[in-house]
Structure 1
Amino acid sequence: MLKVLIADDEPIMLEGLRFLVDWHKLGFEIYAEALDGEDALQLVEENCPHLIITDIRMPVIDGLALIEKVYTRFPDTKFIVLSGYADFQYAQQAMKFGVSNYLTKPLDETELESAVLAVAEDIRAEEERRALQRSILDRSRAETVSRLLMGDVRKEWVDKARSLLKLHEQSRIRCIYLACSNSEYSEQERVSLFQRLREAVDLNGLTDVSVHPFELGINRSGFILAVDSKESVLTIPLIDQFVSHIRKECGETFTFAISSEVRGVISLSRAYQEALTAEVCKFPSNLPRVYYYQDKIVEESPSIPEVTKTSLIQAINYGNVDAVRTLTLDLFMTLSSSEAWAAANLSTLKLEILQELAQQGADMENWSRRWFASPLPKNVGELKNSLLKEFLEAAEWTAREKGARIDDIVSAAEAYVKQHYQGKLQLQHVAEHLHVNAAHLGQRFKKQRGLAFNEYVHTVRITEAKKLLLRTEMKITEIAHMVGYSDPEQFGAKFKALTGVIPSSYKKG
Structure 2
Amino acid sequence: MTFKVLLIDDEPAALEGLELWIDWEELGFEVCGRASNGKEGLHFIRELAPDLVITDVRMPLMDGLEMIEAWSLEGTAPVKFAIVSGYGEFKYAQKALRYGVNAYLLKPVIPEEAAEQIRDIRRELVREREEQSLTRMASYEEAVSMIKDLLNGGANALDGREKEVTRLSDAMPAWNMYLVQAAPDALSRLRAKAAAMAEAGEFIYLVDLEPSSFGIVYGWNSAEDNDKAAYAMAEELLTESADGQRVFMASGQAENSLHRIGCCCKAAKKAIQYAFYLDHAPGLILYEQVEHLQFEDHFERLDLFKEMLQAVSLLDKPALRKAVQLADSSLRESMPNPDIVKKLAIHVMYQIMSHMREAAGPAAEPWIEKYDIPRISGTVMTLGDVMGDLLSCAEGCIDFFMREQQRQSQGIAQEIIDYVSEHYREPLTIRKLAEVFYLHPVYLGQLLLKKNGIGFNEMLHNLRIEEAVRLLENSSLKNSEIAERVGYGHYGQFLKQFEARHAMSPNEYKKRMF
Which interval holds the TM-score relative to the shorter structure? 0.3 to 0.5
Structure (1 or 2) with the larger CA radius of gyration: 2
The structure showing larger relative contact order (alpha-carbon pairs under 8 Å, at least 6 residues apart) is 1
